[in-house]
Amino acid sequence: MLIGLCTALLSAIVTTAPPAAASEDGLVAAYGFDGSTGDSSGNGNHGIAISPLWEQTGKFGQALSLNGSHSTVVSVPDSPSLRVSDAFTLEAWVRPDDVEGWRTILLKQRSNGLSYALYAHSSWFVSDGENSVTDEDRLPVDTWSHVASTYDGEDLRFYVNGTLIASSPAAGSVTYDGGELSIGGNWVWGEYFTGLLDELRIYDVALTAARIQSDMTTPINEDTGPDDPPSAPGTLTVTGADSATLRWGAANDDHGVASYEVHRSVSRDFVPRANTRVALVTGTTYTELLPVGTHYYRVVPRDTAGKAGPPSGQATFTRSQQGLVAAYGFNDHMLDGSGHENPGQLYYCDFTDTGRFGQSIAFDGTNSVFSTWDNPFVRTTGAFTLEAWVRPSALSGSRPIVSKERANGLSYALYTDGARFTSDTEKSVASPVTPPLDTWSHIAATYDGTTLRFYVNGEETASAPASGRLVFDSGLFRVGANHVRNEHFAGLIDEVRVYDIALTPARIQDDMTIPLA
């Protein structure tokens, strides 16, 4: 888990930013887990799990049963109310099956880390530096224990069964970047809880020991009689050209359906979770403008008690763009957004959160490459446009951005300082203008059958007469390197597009402002 610490003990975790809205007593989220992952605080911070499991004998009513896998983890979308700032209280009843290692009770995620967290066995706080509060005793297994942590701007405290166990000086405001709240595990390190969770609360104030003890004896959900979750929505359909308009049949529920969560992903057969939710609506229609690419939708109903029903079937929407044959947005996936379904594979490189739009891929200049198999669509025989956003860390030598390989050569290639393609002979153009180091620049090249042109940030910087139809074989399509000439890019690459037509400067400038999915 964090920073290589390997002692497993009792605790809570924090990282340090802007204030959130508060209810009268500071309660921002409350989960009674009585057959539902709904939020009872009134702030609408409802969660969703792929396959939630319920134990009928919880601390009060039912409890959430966690088996140490991602399918039982509850995901809650980011919201202003969950962004507690200068103070908080995190608490829950837990009955662990295992206390070895890191066992997440709740964790508010951020890129490659956390904002705040409560574990069954250790506690961290990150502001300007790292702080922690721990207890040498472990929680008992197969026994209900109440675990809580408070932060008041001066001290981070840890309580077990209403008794203060440990405290440590701490300061700073919690920082956020839109990550979801996860319960029973997390998507950063895994760190799954096994056992039962019940009566989980989050406050944006530091409760006293007396208030924590009061919560220990007060169930979140009083018994209001049976409440079944909603049925699945009716058939989901999507229509439109640039905008997707969704329609679905209403779900049924014994207490009434309050809302529908609209979920979207670029992955086929995805499972709805917090980071796929794009809207919460009360009706049975939804419309949004989408970037170019293929998108998949599902809808999840919520009843008035916050219980989620099963999701709808999946609907698919593709927004196409004239001539686009390959498109890679590199937003934590390697999928082709052109609609031609030609995904790639990363070798010796990975995603980074420092993208031109969203994420990008970091290339080391030595071994890194993104590769896809040959595809008829990327064989742009008579014309092409190649473009990408790049942030180079080195420019000496030849630095390839996009390449289509062939035996002993390249069918086409875009470099930081020019472009080339092969017809009967190799044609090339060299630019006197190159992108600066450590700065995002948009690089593009076009070929229209008579002229090969090169662009930097939407402005033509070089051109050369060229003619002929490109020649291809089954060579790979690569980003960030080519293996024919053993050339490698160093730095970040984002928003790669390939067209089988020559775009105008205006169209290239449009692409510069439109992110891929």
Give 456-493 pLDDT, tens digit per residue: 999 999 999 999 999 999 999 999 999 999 999 999 99
217 — phi, psi (to 5°)? -105, 5
Q: Kindly report the CATH class assigned to 237-319.
A: mainly beta
pLDDT tens-digit series, residues 232-288 = 999 999 988 778 999 999 999 887 898 999 999 988 888 888 889 999 999 999 999
Range with the poorest average pLDDT among 114-128, 331-345, 406-420: 114-128
Instruction: State how far the Cα of 252 lies from the Cα of 280, in Å rounded to an integer.
Output: 17
Query: Phi-psi bin for 44: left (phi > 0), alpha (psi -120 to 50), beta?
Result: left
Give the model's pLDDT for residue 402.
98
Question: What is the topology classification, in CATH, of domain 2-216?
Answer: Jelly Rolls (2.60.120)
Q: How much is the CA Rg of the chain, to the nearest whole Å?
A: 27
Nearest to 243 by CA among 317, 191, 188, 170: 317
Asked whether the domain spanning 324-513 has the same topology as the one spanning 2-216, the reply is yes
Amino acid at 440: W
Nearest to 327 by CA among 355, 379, 292: 292
Give the model's pLDDT for residue 126.
57
Mean pLDDT value of segment 317-343: 87
Instruction: State how far the Cα of 442 lies from the Cα of 386, in Å rounded to an integer.
Output: 11
Nearest to 496 by CA among 318, 338, 354, 348: 338
Give the model's pLDDT for residue 458.
96
**Angle at CA of residue 13, ends 58 and 138, nearest 5°:** 55
pTM, to two decimals: 0.58
Mean pLDDT value of segment 353-374: 94
The CATH code of domain 324-513 reads 2.60.120.200
Range with the poorest average pLDDT among 172-181, 395-404, 486-495: 172-181
Domain locations along the chain: 2-216, 237-319, 324-513
Instruction: State how far the Cα of 123 lies from the Cα of 160, in Å rounded to an integer.
Output: 13
Give the model's pLDDT for residue 72.
86
Query: Is the pLDDT at 12 greater than 50, yes or no?
Result: no
Count CA atoms closer than 13 A to 379's CA, side-chain side. Answer: 11
Query: Is the pLDDT at 16 greater than 50, yes or no?
Result: no
Give the model's pLDDT for residue 268.
85
Give the model's pLDDT for residue 19.
36
Q: In what order do the strands lie in the sheet containing 237-239?
A: 237-239, 243-247, 285-289
Mean pLDDT value of segment 100-114: 86
Number of CB atoms found within 10 A of residue 147's CB: 27
pLDDT tens-digit series, residues 44-57 = 899 988 788 999 99
Please provide the average confidence, as pLDDT, over all residues in the chain: 88
Name every residue whose Cβ is closer than 8 Å to that of residue 381 and which is 6 or more positions away in sequence: 469, 470, 472, 500
Residue 403 bridge partners (DSSP): 413, 478
Comparing 308 with 111, which gets the higher pLDDT? 308
Q: How far apart are the first and last CA of the chain?
A: 31
DSSP 344-361: -EEES-EEES--SSS-EE
